[in-house]
Homo-oligomer: A and B are copies of this chain.
């Protein structure tokens, strides 16, 4: 669960050059190939590295508009709403949260006009009382993990 400096460097290398391969990594890191292989296996079975799936850009797919919607749910309808939202492809992510709303979801759409369609589909469900949407204008810090990995690796 805790990662050391070598683990950190492995993750960093992978993040920078995903296609790098175990052998080249071992050369760069100055350790034996078996070591890198063992560390990688451990990181993956630990769940620290979930996988290496392709990172797809919704914008390039034709969905340049991102928005966050805060939903308020009617008491006891949570499970139904979750199931409903899971069927909407434009819902990329859904969280249940504390605070003023009950759920927060990330949406994408083909345009601002299309966002209306998506929102209608999202909120067009009985258990949802209210939805308030914030459209994303800029994304100064795209989803990242490297700084956290570096911090976790240093704290060893």
| A residues neighboring B (CB under 8 Å) | 1-3, 11, 14-15, 18-19, 46-63, 66, 68, 82, 85-86, 88-101, 104-106, 108, 132-145, 147-152
Contact = CB atoms under 8 A, between A and B. Distances in A.
B96 A140 contact: yes
B104 A68 contact: yes
A149 B61 contact: yes
A37 to B, nearest CB: 13
Nearest to A153: B61
11 contacts: A1-B60, A15-B54, A47-B59, A48-B56, A48-B57, A52-B53, A56-B148, A68-B104, A82-B141, A86-B140, A89-B148
Nearest to A12: B54
A53 to B, nearest CB: 5
A37 B111 CA distance: 31
Contacts of A138: 95-96
A137 B108 CA distance: 23
A52 B55 contact: yes
